[in-house]
Amino acid sequence: MHLAGPKPPPGLDAIKGEVNVLVVGTDTRKDQAGFEHELSASSGRGNNDVTILVHIAADHQSALVVSFPRDLMVPIPSCPNPAGGSYGASSIAMLNESLSRGGPACPVLTIEKLTGIDIPYAALVDFDGAATMADAVGGVTVCVATPIHDPNVGLDLPAGEDTISGDTARAFLRTRHGVGDGSDLGRISNQQIYLSALARTIKSQGVLNNPIKLFSIAKVATSSLQLSDSLGHLDTLAGIALAVKNIPLANIAMIQYPAGSSPLYPNRVVPVAGVDNLVNTALQQDQRVQLTGSTGRGAVLSPTQSAAPTSPPTSPPPSPSPSGAPAPVALPSTVQGQSADQQTCSKGVTVRG
């Protein structure tokens, strides 16, 4: 896949303007320990089990991270076939089918069509690659409200705080039946717990202020992830990381794309009309958002951050806007998620093998 995008100027400066990166997680079990070099090949890629859009605002003062349900029914446009020609468009299909249609270029085109924004960067990762990022920072500490037991992925975590890496981090990201209500929507909120904890870890370690640490993490990314041509250079990765450096954790919102049960397709979800447009507009117009909804099916607020009993578990207000900047746009309570500074805990369920 060849996606053009701006490059950071010499001297490790932050990339200029807004940045859109699509992170595509494959459910393939093939060759989990390594990747081929070419991103465009679709052989062995499986389906896109995880699809996450990272939007960094043009002023580098906020970011919006959007997780799209794998079972979301959406139009899939015509996508290029690396072997030549193209795959035909579908008026409606599951989002997670898009990766198998020619590789990561197809999820990019699908999310561009759904949201109305341009996505110049993409990364393909399997669960091994995601776990490697936890290893690179010495482990990520996650909170577990009730024990997680999921024999499907070999995960047993007691209640409390657990520092995870390696196989445990991989299983934590994969578990679906072990958290929330056992659905993919519950897994999204569980993954947001991990991502917010990873962001706090990187921030607390000063990784983005230390060129040596920054390049170390960038090298891990280039070796364990498959990156589009526009993203596959250390200076580009470092430039994007530096664009995030000064964003307060409170201004990093992680949400689930608004979706509800489909009346036509059992066990599938569709975008929530009207609410999806609010999210799309926030992306298109580079708006900073404030969350007012719950943390999702698989997460609860940490006891240290629990809201008053009469108040909903909403995100705290984002950091004040710079002088003259627009105030954040409040998303409706039907949009679930959390800010990166919120400490949330996984809500486990018991699963019998």
Region of 198 please: left (phi>0), alpha (psi -120 to 50) or beta: alpha
**pLDDT of res. 287:** 96
CATH fold of 19-126+206-342 reads Nucleotidyltransferase; domain 5 (3.30.420)
**pLDDT of res. 31:** 44
Which of 292, 71, 264, 348 has the alpha carbon at shortest distance from 185? Answer: 71
Q: How do residues 280-289 score in pLDDT, each as one tens digit?
A: 999 999 999 9
**pLDDT of res. 44:** 45
**Beta strand pairing status for 252-256 and 259-261?**
unpaired
Q: How do residues 298-335 score in pLDDT, each as one tens digit?
A: 999 998 775 433 334 456 667 666 656 788 999 999 99
64 or 229, which is more confident: 64
Contact of 338 with 297, CB cutoff 8 Å: no
**What radius of gyration, in Å, describes the C-alpha atoms of the chain?**
19
- What's the whole-model pTM score? 0.88
What's the sign of the alpha-carbon dihedral 179, 255, 99, 32?
negative
**pLDDT of res. 342:** 94
Which residue's entry shows tokens 């249609």? 101
For the CA atoms of 269, 287, 337, 306, the dihedral, rounded to the nearest 10 degrees, stands at -150
Which residue's entry shows tokens 């929330």? 180
Beta bridge pairs of residue 67: 52, 256
Q: How far is CA 108 from CA 2, 79, 122, 277, 303, in A?
A: 11, 10, 7, 19, 38
What's the sign of the alpha-carbon dihedral 7, 12, 14, 19?
positive
- The band of 90, judged by pLDDT with boundaries at 50, 70 and 90, is very high
Mean model confidence pLDDT for the chain: 85
Q: How far apart are CA 229 and CA 171, in angstroms?
A: 29
